[in-house]
Structure 1
Amino acid sequence: MAAITSKQVQVPHGPEAKLVNLMAPVEQRAALVASCNKRFELSDRNACDVELLCVGAFSPLEGFLPKEEYESVVNDMRLTNGLLFGLPIVLDTNSEDIVPGDTVLLSYQGQDLAVMNVTSKYTPNKPLECLKCYGTSSLEHPAVQMVAMERGKYYLGGPIKGLALPTRVFPCATPSEVRATLPANQDVLAFQCRNPIHKAHYELFIRALDAPNVREGAVCLVHPTCGPTQDDDIPGVVRFRTYEVLKEETANPRLRWAYLPYSMHMAGPREAIQHMIIRKNYGCTHFIIGRDMAGCKSSISGKDFYGAYDAQEMANKHAGELNMQTVPSLNIAYTEEKGYVTADVAKAENLHVLNLSGTKFRQMLRAGEDIPEWFAFKSVVAVLREQIQTAPPRH
């Protein structure tokens, strides 16, 4: 059982077990803005990181990593004090004008989000960062391409104070808000995803609630990432709509739903650790982890960058230190004879397994064909069909 606080919920990450809140009091915000001598426009990814820092999802961090902390996380997957941390949280820029000592107003799409005291400006070793964090420095990896081609020449480090959270079309509950919805003294499983949820996924997290290391009465926090991800993924706004209709269709009292403004790195094992730390801060005690979690393929050869169980092994290795438990997601198959069963049962009983690939599913959506009810929820199909028929063609 994971440790709990006096309020009988999971402790936040860090030696002080304290949920960070970087939002400045309302009466201080005008003075903070007035103190700024520079302005900086955030990218979509930057804005996600600012929001997660401000609400405490990256507890115990209080800002973007300075050089020594960045290098420690890159090389050792730990902060300089030894605390486990999966991926470096950095603010990138090409600006020659911003220097240590500056007070910078961080804005996003016309909205002032935070004020940053710049304490560090450095040129990162991007090839080393990619090799250590993603296991490769090849541009065939989407995050390597992001670091090399999207991120600026310099990284800025320093503490931030929040002014406002980004205005989004979907609400992203803060860690404290999510914690307020969780049952006291009870196991809370986290289910991470970045795609629409189909029936096999649903079976995974419903069955995980009955895992041997999960207590009776546990709940599952379905916590999809809705920030930027791979170019060919379904847009976050559309994914959000699929989750909302599914929440209504299933109306399952053992589920909690929230949305995470996190930008995926597809970093496999390292990202598994990052996701566990974030979900720990949201109050979860258990993390459901599947095959090839946060994995990706070469954009040229199609070869997987990570082994199917690399992320699970990394998560299991550090679960105790993170004060969490892992629940491996079952390998589920749909059979004509018995519906959804584990793949082992399907094989042992020689059952007839039905399959539908993601590519075939998308083709059927475009063509207006009926989608098998065993594969997808009707409500989700309706949202996806509307999106796929109105989206501009890809070139």
Structure 2
Amino acid sequence: MKLSFAILSLAATASAFTPSAPARSVSRVGGSSVLAPVPVRAAGTQLEAAKQTPHGGKLVDLILKSDEEKKAAMAKCNKELQLTPRQLCDTELIINGGFSPLTGFMDEPTYKHVVDNVALPDGLIFGLPVVFDTDDEDLQPGDIVLLKDGDRPIATVEFTDKYLPNKAYECKKCYGTSEIEHPGALMVATERGKYYMGGKLTGLNLPVRDFPCKTPAEVRETLPDDVDVVAFQCRNPVHRAHYELFTRALDDPLVGAGGVVLVHPTCGPTQADDIPGTVRYKTYEVLKEETHNDRTRWEYLPYSMHMAGPREAIQHMMIRKNFGCTHFIIGRDMAGSKSSVTGEDYYGAYDAQDFAKEKGPELGVTPVPSLNLVYTEEEGYVTADEAKERGLHEKKLSGTKFRQMLRGGEDIPEWFAFKSVVKVLRENA
């Protein structure tokens, strides 16, 4: 029997994934003060000519440009707080436009609408709520707080409301379960504070990270404006099968001629047993140098994983839309998770693909189903269907066996992993 979700004990009986909101134009965003888009500051740049329109029609940029503006903003603060690693990622993606059209943490009505409808109150699709959590009883609406990462000021937030979320209901709707065996539900129960607070952000500085994370505007300036851009999301080192998968995606009939791939790994907090972001970053950098593929671009995303399966697939697509991508590769069991007790999958292998296909036209991003590739002795990497039809001999290496070989200093077959990646993993074990 699975553990009961003690912290989130209130029963939540609603279905995990709600019907989609009616299709709508995304040329404008109405209403709430934390949703209104901010005009792009870099007028006349490549950004305006980018093939993909930012989510909501405008790319948010909340980062103040002059020292005088920053000093004036900080002078208004009556308190300061240290951001947790997850809060730091969310703050960065709000102020740099990655979460466009958000301009702050969600207030209670916005939070509830996203949880229930996978959409903002005006109907614009949005995968998961973005909230500021706290246990601080003294924080109140009206407080203007300086948010810091160590000694570095990152943003100010003017809090608009403070509310007690129904965490069990949130998890049931967003993750499909409120059991703490799910890593996202465990995060909500044990990492997030008792209260959520809405508030409008003003950006001061981007965090200093071991992996440089360009803003959506900066990434857009590097992308072609006349071909499709296919995003590939990952949170693990890229091995041979991954590389074959995202390079072959350019041949998919859904992708126009001359398209490029943006490999856009998340380097923020994730599951407890995942490889740390700083190590993952090193593996990506050596692989980028080893492959030298003109049709492949590499950038890094300061995003905190929820392992929310279908709902998180929508969140990833929406973020990459803001970074200029027109297409998004959806893998089998994307952002999936297993029970920490039984080992059973929480989502079906194709749930994320199906949900992405349903929401893709409304979102304005085309999902590209990933190929199910296997390695064969005769032909190298081919699809599993082709291997079966032709009677080819497959070679397999499980993730568990790979890690055992890695720790034991055994030779890793080159058909499975790049030598440069293996070297980094061993040096940082």
Tell me whether 1:10 sits opposite 2:52 in the alignment. Answer: yes
Map of 2:3 onto structure 1: none
Structure 2 letter corresponding to 1:10: Q
Structure 2 letter corresponding to 1:36: C
In the aligned structure 1, how far is the partner of 2:403 from the partner of 2:190?
A: 30
Query: How far does the alpha carbon of each residue in 1:346-375 deviate from its partner, in whole angstroms, 9 at most, with x for none?
Result: 000000000000111111111111100100
Map of 2:389 onto structure 1: 348
> 3-state DSSP class of the match of 1:119?
strand
Tell me whether 1:67 sits opposite 2:108 in the alignment. Answer: yes
- Is 305-314 or 103-112 further displaced after alignment? 103-112
**Structure 2 residue corresponding to 1:271, chosen from 306, 312, 320:** 312
Superposition map of 1:195-274 within 5 A = 195-274=236-315
Displacement, 1:5? 8.5
Map of 1:393 onto structure 2: none
Query: How far does the alpha carbon of each residue in 1:230-257 deviate from its partner, in whole angstroms, 9 at most, with x for none?
Result: 0000000000000000000000000010
In the aligned structure 2, how far is the partner of 1:343 from the partner of 1:139?
A: 35
Structure 2 letter corresponding to 1:295: G
Structure 2 letter corresponding to 1:156: M
Displacement, 1:39? 1.1
- What 5-or-longer segments of structure 1 have no aligned partner? 389-395
Number of residues of Structure 1 aligned to a counterpart in Structure 2: 385
In the aligned structure 1, how far is the partner of 2:274 from the partner of 2:364?
A: 32
Superposition map of 1:230-379 within 5 A = 230-379=271-420
Map of 1:391 onto structure 2: none
Displacement, 1:386? 1.1
Structure 1 letter corresponding to 2:127: G
Asked if the contact 1:192/1:223 (under 8 Å) is kept, the reply is: yes
Query: How far does the alpha carbon of each residue in 1:249-304 deviate from its partner, in whole angstroms, 9 at most, with x for none?
Result: 00000001000000100000000000000000000000000100000000000000
Asked if the contact 1:267/1:295 (under 8 Å) is kept, the reply is: yes
> 3-state DSSP class of the match of 1:200?
helix
Map of 2:59 onto structure 1: 19
Displacement, 1:110? 2.1
Displacement, 1:6? 5.7
**Structure 2 residue corresponding to 1:35, chosen from 76, 79, 83:** 76
Asked if the contact 1:142/1:266 (under 8 Å) is kept, the reply is: yes
Alpha carbon RMSD of aligned pairs, Å? 1.3
Superposition map of 1:21-170 within 5 A = 21-26=61-66, 27-170=68-211
In the aligned structure 2, how far is the partner of 1:303 from the partner of 1:350?
A: 30
Identity %: 64
Displacement, 1:184? 1.4
Structure 1 letter corresponding to 2:62: L
> 3-state DSSP class of the match of 1:362?
helix
TM norm structure 2: 0.88
Query: How far does the alpha carbon of each residue in 1:113-158 deviate from its partner, in whole angstroms, 9 at most, with x for none?
Result: 1000100111111000000000000000001011011100101101
- Is 110-119 or 222-231 further displaced after alignment? 110-119
Stretches (4+) displaced over 2 A = 3-6
